[in-house]
Amino acid sequence: MFSFSRGKMKLTHEEVKKIARLARLQLTEADLEKYATQLSAVLSYIERLNQLDTANIEPTAHAFLVPTPFREDKVKPYTEQELSLQNAPDREGPFFKVPKVIA
C-alpha cells in the first residue's frame, strides 16, 4: 500500500484520499499535499521505532510505574438526594422520570 523512497515512507495523494475517505474527511488539494507530508513524516518515524530491538523490554501501559490506589469499600447512607434531583427536568417522587425506551 505504501511506497518507500530513500528509506522514508512517502504517501501518495491517492493514499491520503483513501485515508480521508475512511475517516470521512473532505480535503482540498492543498490539504492533500500538507497531510501527505505530515502523515509520511509520522510513518517514517514509526518505521524508525520499529527498527529498535525491544526483545528484552517488558511491555507496559505507562512509562513509569503507576500504582492503583485502592481504598476500603464502605457502605454509607446517601444524604444528598434532594440536591441531586433539584435540576432534574422531570421527576416522580424521589426519582428521575425518564421517557420509556423499551417497548
Q: Tens digits of per-residue pLDDT, 12-68?
A: 989 999 999 999 999 999 999 999 999 999 999 999 989 999 899 888 887 888 788
Residues 48 and 34: their CA atoms lie apart, in Å, by: 21
Q: Name the β-bridge partners of 92.
A: 95
Q: What is the mean pLDDT of residues 64-73?
A: 84
Question: Which band of pLDDT confidence, cut at 50, 70 and 90, is reported for residue 5?
Answer: very low
Contact 43, 2 (CB under 8 A): yes
pLDDT for the residue numbered 31: 92
Domains and CATH numbers, the chain: 3-50 (1.10.20.60)
Question: Which band of pLDDT confidence, cut at 50, 70 and 90, is reported for residue 69?
Answer: confident
Cβ neighbourhood burial of 11 (10 Å; 0-12, 13-18, 19+): buried
Q: Evaluate if residue 9 carries a pLDDT over 80.
A: no
